[in-house]
Amino acid sequence: MRAPIPVVRGAAGLLVFTVLWLAGCSDPEALAREPAAEAVAEGLVFSGVYDVGLRSVEPEEERGFIRVQWQGGLFAVDNEKEWDVPRHAIVDGDVVYTTRSGHAWVRWDLPDGVASGRLTNRLVLWDVPRMLAHESTGLELREGVLVATVRYPVGKDTLAAEVRVEGEGPDIRVESAQGRESPYTLHPGGEALRFPVQAPARVLPAAEVDQGDAAARTGHQAIADLVLGYCRTHGGLVPESVDPDTLRVERVTSGTSWPASPYDDQPMRDAPESGHFMWERTSPTQGVYEGRGWDGAVVKHFFGPTVCRP
């Protein structure tokens, strides 16, 4: 757990802070920590909620928000914009918890997740205190500016970026050729996050979620096939409900057993729970089946006149 780093103003009332991450840097002098610079770094803190801006090609009215917060040694990201950033994420050292639905969380090894491409490297690039605290960081003062040279390893790679922090807030600018839609600006004063900044209680490791979701998809496909059989033998009508009784004839005809959720071993049912499903009959001849995994939907099947044609 990392302690928060306080922010202090310079003699002129303004602190300008630049962090340079260099991939493949081998000069040991670049990693020296000047005592004066280290003293300034030790006096820094980042508190409250920050709004994150980035270089986006989307029209402003279509943009959501991204907010981050450091609290109690944790780094949290609340996202309503980026497709490759989890909706919610909590980073605790080299462990990160993510959720897409807010219902259940997945536990990852952060370096492995980023190195494999399954987690965005922005979970590291936005975590400025993490970079400052890393043991490979070099610190120096250049004409009153604190410059930190960091080689941050992520798997076999090293992230390279430039971060500028200034003012009492402080305001932060992160620029990296390795960061999608860089540069990033982090401004203090954002609204509260939509979830508590703490280690979540309902968590499974990513490997177990992969295995469970694969089993869930198989079960959902079996049920979707039964719904398809129903509508094709009922003149295009879809069932009012999806359950073993409603689809009894289709089960007997196909010899299909009713699948169970891999997360509670209970028969799959119409409920917004891990490994179960949601059925919506939008009209007598149309319906939507949404199969859920551990953390939200993993499949979606649409039934209508075209699909249900015999």
The three-point CA angle 270-214-293 to 5° equals: 35
| Cα atoms in the 13 Å half-sphere on the side-chain side of 104 | 19
Is residue 19 over pLDDT 50? no
Largest CA distance in the chain: 82
- Higher per-residue pLDDT: 272 or 61: 272
Distance CA 138, CA 132 (A): 9
Distance CA 211, CA 188 (A): 40
Q: For residue 28, what pLDDT is reported?
A: 40
Q: Which of 195, 213, 194 is nearest to 291 (CA)?
A: 213
Pair 83, 180: CB distance under 8 Å: no
The amino acid at 99:
T
pTM of the shown model: 0.82
Pair 139, 37: CB distance under 8 Å: yes
Give backbone dihedrals phi and psi of 146, rounded to 5 degrees, phi first: -85, 120
Q: Residue 160: which pLDDT band, with cuts at 50, 70 and 90?
A: confident
The amino acid at 301:
H
Is residue 14 over pLDDT 50? no
Distance in angstroms between the alpha carbons of the first and the last residue of the chain: 60
Q: What are the DSSP calls for 9-44, one per residue? A: --TTS--EEEEEE-TT---GGGG-B-HHHHHHHHT-
Pair 289, 227: CB distance under 8 Å: yes
Distance CA 188, CA 168 (A): 10
Q: What are the DSSP calls for 131-179, one per residue? A: HHHSTT-EEEEETTEEEEEE-EEETTEEE--EEEEETTTTEEEEE-TTS
Is residue 2 over pLDDT 70? no
Q: Which residue has the tokens 């030790």?
A: 42
Q: Residue 78: which pLDDT band, with cuts at 50, 70 and 90?
A: very high
Average pLDDT over residues 49-66: 81
Distance CA 52, CA 187 (A): 7
Pair 6, 43: CB distance under 8 Å: yes
Q: For residue 10, what pLDDT is reported?
A: 34
**What's the whole-number average pLDDT of the chain?**
85
Distance CA 248, CA 305 (A): 22
DSSP, collapsed to helix, strand or coil, labels residue 163 as strand
| 96, containing H or E segment | strand 95-99
Distance CA 151, CA 35 (A): 19
What is the distance of C-alpha 162 from the center of its chain? 23
> Could you give the C-alpha distances from 198 to 1, 23, 97, 99, 237, in angstroms and in order?
12, 32, 10, 13, 47
Q: Which of 155, 184, 172, 127 is nearest to 23 (CA)?
A: 155
Q: For residue 167, what pLDDT is reported?
A: 60
Q: Which of 221, 238, 207 is nearest to 299 (CA)?
A: 221
Q: Could you tell me which residues come within 8 angstroms of residue 272 by beta carbon, excluding any fewer than 6 positions away?
A: 103, 278, 292
